[in-house]
Amino acid sequence: MSQEYKRIIVARTDRIGDVVLSLPVFASLKKYFPQSELTALVRTYTTDVVSSFESVDNVITYDPDESLIATRQKLKRMDADAIIFLFPRFRISAAAFLARIPVRAGTAYRWYSFLFNKKVREHRKDSVKSEAEYNLALAEALGCEEKVFDTKLNINNEALGRVKNFLSENAIEKYIIVHPGSGGSAFEWGEEKFRELIKSITGRLNLPVIVTGTATEHTLCKKVSSGIPKSINAAGKFSLLEFIALLSEAEVFVSNSTGPIHLAAAVDTPVIGIYPNDKPMTPVRWAPITDKKVILTPSDGSNNLSLISVDEVMWSLYKLMSVKTE
């Protein structure tokens, strides 16, 4: 072991899916440096994700509107030996430099990479491997020789209780979740396709479908679910902890390439992802970390998601329902 660290900060200040694919860094660091205290630096709305992961010891939040000095003071109070920038941004990088954190690991190809003293020379835009592997390369810069692809989230018992009350009130036992939005993070399969899928699930499988989304996606979720028996529009209904609990109880989760598919995989629920072939959004880089998945892409190599049929998704459902953990 080349060096011990008392405290390590791992910074990932973007979206939910990105944060989930960063969890293997915490798992790997905890295994290789078991005495190290690991702190996640994240945006406020993803704190419940990292707080639900066993290898994370502390969580601090980053506000993009806070001053450089405020960020510096926040980092300095942590008295960290090292910080890893999985999603580098100038202000946080400069704040860590000014806070005199001794080891600062980041990519070598930003204009401000001079602020890092451990540099990784990889271009993520090439998308030749999983985002989790790109993240682990930055942990390796600290001397970490472990690669633990663990994203398993713990379920909050109070949140699970509220979810079970919701299911009981709606007389739901087994169910499938369909998540038609993407939060603008990827191409979408479309309202008509998702609506046809929900009709097929409720009709051919005789299972209820819970349609999920953020509060801002309520209209979309209403369009794809309204008028279909056994279909419930739950957009904006659950907190993040409750949503994670809801995912953990589902038979299968179906969505575009978006953060919730990674949450579903992290609670061991089988997933179906509808992905484009475009390099920045390729499943090679952005598929969830699970063996219980089917990833569908347009067969002609394009980004035309309409080429993926409802029957393809239904056959994937039949396949995955047989591997759902009892």
Question: Are 308 and 195 members of one domain?
Answer: yes
Question: Are 184 and 316 members of one domain?
Answer: yes
pLDDT in the model for residue 323: 64
Tell whether 149 is covered by a domain. no
Question: Are 83 and 185 members of one domain?
Answer: no
Tell whether 136 is covered by a domain. yes
- pLDDT tens digit string along 196-239? 999 999 999 999 999 999 999 999 999 999 999 999 999 999 99
Question: Are 256 and 130 members of one domain?
Answer: no
pLDDT in the model for residue 96: 98
Question: Are 260 and 125 members of one domain?
Answer: no
Question: Are 118 and 255 members of one domain?
Answer: no
Question: Are 50 and 171 members of one domain?
Answer: no
Instruction: Give the end of a domain, one of 140, 166, 190.
Output: 140
Question: Are 43 and 84 members of one domain?
Answer: yes
pLDDT in tens, the chain (326 residues): 457 899 999 999 999 999 999 999 999 999 999 999 999 999 999 999 999 999 999 999 999 899 999 999 999 999 999 999 999 899 999 999 999 999 999 999 999 999 999 999 998 888 899 999 999 999 999 999 999 999 999 999 999 999 999 999 999 999 999 999 988 777 999 999 999 999 999 999 999 999 999 999 999 999 999 999 999 999 999 999 999 999 999 999 999 999 999 999 999 999 999 999 998 899 999 999 999 999 999 999 999 999 999 999 999 999 998 765 44
Tell whether 2 is covered by a domain. no
CA-CA distance, 295 to 18, in Å (whole number)?
18
DSSP 117-149: SEEE---GGG--S-HHHHHHHHHHTTT------
Tell whether 279 is covered by a domain. yes
pLDDT in the model for residue 91: 94
pLDDT in the model for residue 168: 97
Tell whether 1 is covered by a domain. no
Q: What angle do CA 58, 76, 30 make, to 5 degrees?
A: 35
CA-CA distance, 142 to 2, in Å (whole number)?
9
CA-CA distance, 127 to 129, in Å (whole number)?
6
Question: Are 178 and 84 members of one domain?
Answer: no
How many domains does one find in the chain? 2
| C-alpha radius of gyration, the chain, whole number | 21
The CA distances from residue 87 to 24, 105, 106, 258, in Å, are 15, 11, 8, 17
Tell whether 307 is covered by a domain. yes
Question: Are 273 and 165 members of one domain?
Answer: yes
Its domain, for residue 277, covers 157-321
pLDDT in the model for residue 2: 56
- pLDDT tens digit string along 14-33? 999 999 999 999 999 999 99
Tell whether 224 is covered by a domain. yes
SS3 258: coil
Instruction: Give the end of a domain, one of 107, 140, 173.
Output: 140
Tell whether 146 is covered by a domain. no
Within 8 A by CB and 6+ apart from 152, the residues are 53, 54, 266, 267, 268
CATH assignment at residue 295: 3.40.50.2000
Global pTM reads 0.96
Instruction: Give the end of a domain, one of 105, 140, 175.
Output: 140
Instruction: Give how far the C-alpha of residue 261 lies from the chain's centroid of Cα atoms, to the nearest Å.
Output: 7
Question: Are 17 and 73 members of one domain?
Answer: yes
pLDDT in the model for residue 123: 87
Q: For residues 211 and 229, is the Cβ–Cβ distance under 8 A? A: no
Question: Are 94 and 235 members of one domain?
Answer: no
